[in-house]
Structure 1
C-alpha cells in the first residue's frame, strides 16, 4: 500500500477526508494526520508518503511553506491542496510548487478521486511502470487532441481539412449510426495580470477534469484542446445521451466555482448542434464563432446554444445606413468627439432594440467597419506599421466585451483618445517652426537678423511665420526680438563700466536713443534708471 498523509488543523476535516475515499481500492492507506506544518513535514520525512493532502492555513509552518520545503527536499511526494482559501494567489503559488491539484472545501469525492488518479498515473510514469497498452492509449489521445487543434487552426483551408479528415477516419473513426458529434467551446477572457500564463496552464488541466466529470463515461470519447483563451471539447457519444444530457449546466456551475478561486476570468460556453456525420465537425467549429460573439447580447458566464442564436434578419448595412455613415464621417472629419460619442450611444440602443432579429456577429461586424472607417479617415491609405498594429489591437479588444453598450462606449473612448492624441501631435508640428524661430532669435539676437532670414531658417514664408508666431506667442517676430535684446541688456547694465551706448550696440541696437525708447516701453524705466536701481 502506498501511504497518504492528511494535514489540516481541524481533526474533523482530516476524518472527513479519510472517510470520503475507499483508499484500499486505489492501493492507498492513510498513514496518519498532522495538525500543523512542522509536524506534517517531520511525518513526511519519517513516513515518506506517496501523497500529502494539506490545507494552506495551518499554525506554524503554513501549507505554502510546507509545499516549498517538500518540493526542495522530498520532490517525489505528490501534494494535493484542500482548502477554504478561495484566492487564486495561493493557487498560483501552489502551481509553482508542482502540486497535483487545488481543491476547494467542501471537497467533492469525484474531484479528490480524479486528483489521486492523476497522481498515481504520474507515479507509474516516473517509475516506468506504465503498461504498453496504457501508454498507447495516452499516445492515441494526444494524437486526437492534436487533430482537433489542427481542425480548428485549418478550418478555412480546404486541402488541409481533407487531409485531417482522412487521418481521423483511417485511425479513429467508428461508423456507428447511433453515435453523434457535438462540440463545446469555452471562451475565457482574462481581466488582467502578469500571471496569465500560469492561469492558462491551470485551466488547461482543470478544464479537462471538469469535462470528464460532467460528461461522464457514456460519451465514450472526449477530445480536448486549448488554443489561446479558448478551450474546445469534441464529444463523440450515443445520440440519445447527447440530446438528453445537459452536462453544460454542470460545467457552467463548476466554472463559476472555479472563478471564485481564480478571480480574474470571465467565460462563455458555446454549444454546437449535434451531428451524426463526423464530416459535420467543421460545421460545429463554424458555429462557435457565432456563439462566442453573441456574448455581447447574452453577457458573461452564460451558456449560448447555437440553435438559440437568432438568424440575423438585418445586416450591417441596415444599421450603418447612409444617414449614419454621413454623420459619422462628418464627426470624424471635424474631430467632434462629443458627436461621435452620441452617435455610437444611439447605435448601441438601436442594436439592443433589434436583439431578437440580429446576432453578435453582426454587432462585431459593425464595430469592425467603424474602426476601419475611423483609421481610413484619420490616417488615409498610407498607414505605417505602428498604426496597423494599433488598429489590430482595437479590433481584437472588441472580442472581449459582454455588452453592446460597453463595446461602443469603449470604441467612443478610443476614438476620442486617438483624436486628442492626433490633435496634440498636429499642434506640436504646427508650433515646431515657431519654437525653432525662437531658438534662432535667442542665439542671434545681437546680429542684424530680419524676418525673411528667420523664415528661411525654419522653412516657412515670412508672411506665414509672422502670422503663426503671433498666434502662438502673442508677440510679433520683431517684438519678440526686441524683448530678448532688452532681457540681455538688463544683465549688461549691471556692469557700470559699460556705457549705455555700448550696451545697446552689444545686444543689437545700433541706435542708443531707439534702444532707450524700447527699453523703457518694456521695463517701465529708462536704461539709466534701471542701472541706478539695480547696479
Structure 2
C-alpha cells in the first residue's frame, strides 16, 4: 500500500465536519485528514499551502461558497476531485456542480456508505491516473535515454576520427547550429599511480564530474552532448548563441572551480579542461574536436588545474609525430633484438631530450610519441610469440595519466625496461615450469605470509612477468589463487576439526577474524559457522 492520500474537509458547521471525518473509513481507503475548516477562504488557503488530494466541501459556507471554491481551484489548473455536500435538493446547485466536473454530489443527512463508496471510486480513479502518469514518464525517459545514447555515440565516433558521421549528428539527433555556435571541451582527470587505483573509484569520481558539468551549464548553454572516453576523459559538445560566448567561457571556468572543489578530498586526481576552437558549422565541430585534443595534450607543458584554449596555442604541423620519429623505430627494435636495455634506454632518452626542449616537435606530441614507442615494443614481443595486449593497455593507461615530460619518460622507460627484463627471463625459464613451483609452495605454506614479489623471486621471475604468466596459465591472478587455496584449507579445517574460527583463520593466513569471515562469506556464500554446521 502506497502513501496515504490527503483529504480536506470544509463545512461551516464544525460538528458536521467532525461527523464527516468520523464516517470515513480512513485505514481501509488508505486516507488521512489534512485539515477541517469552516469557510471557503480557509479551504482555499489550505489547498494552496498543503498537499491535498481530495476535497469534501459543503455548498453553503461564509466568505466563499463550496461551488465558488471549486471554480477558483479549477482556474488554477489544479486537477483533483471534489465531493460536494448539500442540504439542498435544488437542481440548480446540482447542475452547477456538474458543470464544474465535481466528482460526487451528496445530500445531507450524510450516508456513511454513500460517502465511502464515493471516496473508494475516487481513490480507484486516482490510482489509475497515477499508474498512467508513471507509465508515461517511463516512456518519455526511455525515449530521452535513447536520444541521449544516439547523440553520445555519434560524438564518440567523431572523437575517434569517424568524420563521416558528422551529418548523422544533425539528421539522427535533431542537433543543429542555426543561429548558434559550438565548442568541444575535454575535461581530463589525471590520476597519480593509476595502476593502484580501483576502477570503481574512478567510475564514481567521473559520475560526480558528469553531474557537476550537467548541473553547471545553466541557461547560457542551449544544448549539450556529453561523452566519456577511456583514461578519464569527458568530452562535452556545447551549443550556445554567439552573443553569449563570453558567458559560456565563464560557465566553463566555474565548472573547473566546482570540480576542483570536489576533488580537494582526493589527492590522487588532477583536473584540466581543454577548450576547442569555436565552430559555426557542423564541419567546424570536427576542427573543434581536433583542436581540443591538441589543447588537452598541451597540459604536459602548460600544467594541470587550468583551462587551456586551443586558439591560444600554435598550430600543430601535419604528420608532426611521424616526421619526428623517422628512423627511430629501426634503432629501437635493434636494441630489443640483442636484449640491450641500455641501448633501448638511450633511444628513449634521445627522443625525450628533444621533446623537452619543444624546438623540433611540439610538447603535446609527447603522449603520441610514448604511445608509438610502447606499440613498437609490444609488436616486437608478439612477433616473438608472446601475447601482451593487456600489458600494452596497462602502459597506455599510465602514459595517458602523466602530466609532465619527466613523468611520461619515467613511466615509459621503467615499464619497458621491466618488461624487457621479464621477457628475457621468461624465455630462459620456460622449461622450469615456474607456475607449478609457485602453486606447490602456496599449497604447503598457505598459512604463512605470502606476497607476489616473494613468490616471483622464488621461481626466478620478474614480478611483473610472473603476474602476467600466472594469469595466462591459470586464468586468474595470483592473489585470487592464493585466496582460493586458503579458503579450501579453511573449509577442510572447519569440517575435520573442533578448532575455533579464530584459530582456523590464523592457520590459513588471516590474523583478523572479521576480515576472514567477510572474505569466507564472499567467496563461499555462507558464513564459516554455518558452513561448519552444514558439513561437519
**TM-score normalized by the length of structure 2:** 0.48
